[in-house]
């Protein structure tokens, strides 16, 4: 099998399993492919968890932005503005600095005299995930809000005619239509969230024991070999594959959301254009 030895040594290196030292000299193509692939575990981890959790907060934010009460609307507006209006890069820096201070200031007050150990928030796996979760919620919340406003009036009138009210009306009429309308844009958001996960180890969060993501290892190799023409195309390749998987999963979900429509009314396959750095 190709690269079997390297796969054993570095396949799970990004999780701290396997060889302790990274390859330093005589770096082979196998080393690069395996170690960068191992780093992809983190990109997938951040992307999947932030997206899954962010989906629910995004729905709440969209409803909050559409609420008639200013007490609900304003906080939702500000949350979305805060995370969409500033660079993710700065958000990471700021969150890290805040989390570093957290244990000895707020932690003590919140969790009694001895204070809970909140040090794990300074580690990327938790701290960066929190930031990505808030960030994608804000972006997706704005997308869902736009879709919420474009839910056809006829659908709502039909719901009223059937006597649907409150949560039932939301769950059976408003929410599915909102998702259907938002889906192409939401697919984009998912793709660019996965791309944004590469920023984690380049911003405030240090890589603990050299356990980093794909780009972290790629830049490690680029530094060691002073040759950018191999590691970066490898990352690119991995990400193209990841993007294609995301697109196919989301189009499958999109087909399900649109299955009641005649085929001519269905939206075209989503194209990944839009956000890049956030």
Partner 1 sequence: MFEYCSDPSALDGARWLSCYLTNGVHLRFYSSFGTVLLLLAITAPLALAFGFLGAAASRSGVAPLRWSGKTYTSMVRGVPDIVFFLFFVIALDQAFEWTRHQALCPGWDAPIRQGAEFNVCPEAKLPRSSSPQAWHEAYNFSLAIVTFAIVFGAFAANVLYGAMRAVPRAQMETAAAYGMTERQAFRRILVPQMWVYALPGLSNLWMILIKATPLLFLLGVEDIVYWAREIGGSKTSAFSYPHPDWRIWYFSGLLVFYLIFTKISEIVLARLTARLSAGQATAEGERLRRAAPAGPAA
Interface ranges with partner 1 (CB under 8 A): 25, 81-82, 84-91, 93-94, 97-98, 101, 194-196, 198-199, 202, 215, 218-219, 222, 224-229, 232, 235-236, 239-240, 243-244, 271-278
From CA 23, how far away is CA 32, in angstroms rounded?
Answer: 9
**Considering beta carbons, is residue 18 or 274 the nearer one to partner 1?**
274
- Judged by beta carbon, residue 88 or residue 151, the one nearer partner 1 is 88
User: DSSP code of 173?
Assistant: I
Q: How far is the CB of 213 from partner 1 (least distance, A)?
A: 10
Q: The tokens of 267 are what?
A: 């939206």
- To partner 1, the closest distance from the beta carbon of 253 in angstroms equals 19
Query: Closest separation between CB of residue 243 and partner 1, Å?
Result: 4
Cα–Cα distance for residue pair 275/145, rounded to 1 Å? 17
Beta carbon nearer to partner 1, 180 or 195:
195
Least distance in Å: CB of 216 to partner 1? 11
Q: Least distance from C-beta 65 to partner 1, angstroms?
A: 16
* Helices 70-85 & 124-149 angle (0-180, nearest 10): 120
Alpha-carbon distance of 107 to 90, in angstroms, equals 23
Give the integer Cα–Cα distance in Å for 239 and 69. 43
**H helix or E strand, kind and range, residue 93:** helix 88-101
User: What per-residue string of b and e applies to 154-175 under the rule 16 or more CB within 10 Å gives b?
Assistant: eeeeebeeeebeeeebbeebbb
Instruction: Output the smallest distance, CB 87 to partner 1, in A.
Output: 4
Give the Cα-Cα-Cα angle 28, 232, 9 (nearest 5 degrees): 40
Nearer to partner 1, 175 or 217 (CB): 217
CB of 144 or CB of 239, closer to partner 1: 239
Residue (173 or 198) nearer to partner 1, CB: 198
Cβ contact 203:212 at 8 Å:
no
Q: Report the candidate in 175, 119, 165 with the shortest Cα–Cα distance to residue 144.
A: 175
């Amino acid at each position: 099998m190709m690269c079997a030895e390297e796969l054993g040594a570095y396949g799970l290196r990004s999780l701290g399993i396997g060889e302790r030292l990274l390859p330093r000299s005589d770096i082979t193509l196998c080393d690069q492919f395996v170690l960068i692939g191992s780093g992809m575990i983190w990109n997938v981890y951040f992307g999947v968890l932030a997206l899954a959790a962010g989906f629910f907060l995004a729905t709440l934010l969209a409803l909050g932005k559409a609420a008639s009460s200013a007490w609900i609307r304003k906080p939702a507006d500000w949350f979305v503005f805060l995370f969409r209006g500033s660079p993710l890069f700065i958000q990471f820096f700021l969150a890290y600095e805040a989390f570093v201070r957290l244990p000895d200031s707020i932690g003590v007050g919140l969790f009694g005299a001895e204070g809970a150990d909140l040090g794990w928030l300074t580690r990327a796996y938790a701290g960066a995930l929190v930031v990505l979760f808030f960030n994608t919620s804000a972006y997706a919340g704005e997308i869902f809000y736009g879709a919420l406003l474009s839910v056809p009036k006829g659908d709502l009138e039909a719901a009223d005619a059937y006597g649907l009210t409150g949560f039932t009306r939301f769950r059976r009429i408003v929410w599915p239509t909102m998702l259907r309308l938002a889906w192409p844009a939401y697919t984009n958001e998912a793709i660019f969230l996965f791309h944004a996960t590469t920023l984690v180890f380049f911003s405030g969060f240090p890589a603990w024991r050299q356990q980093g993501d794909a780009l972290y290892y790629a830049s490690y190799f680029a530094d060691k070999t002073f040759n950018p023409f191999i590691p970066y195309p490898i990352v690119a390749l991995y990400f193209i594959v990841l993007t294609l998987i995301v697109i196919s999963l989301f189009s499958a979900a999109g087909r399900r959301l649109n299955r009641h429509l005649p085929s001519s009314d269905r939206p075209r396959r989503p194209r990944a254009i839009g956000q890049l750095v956030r």
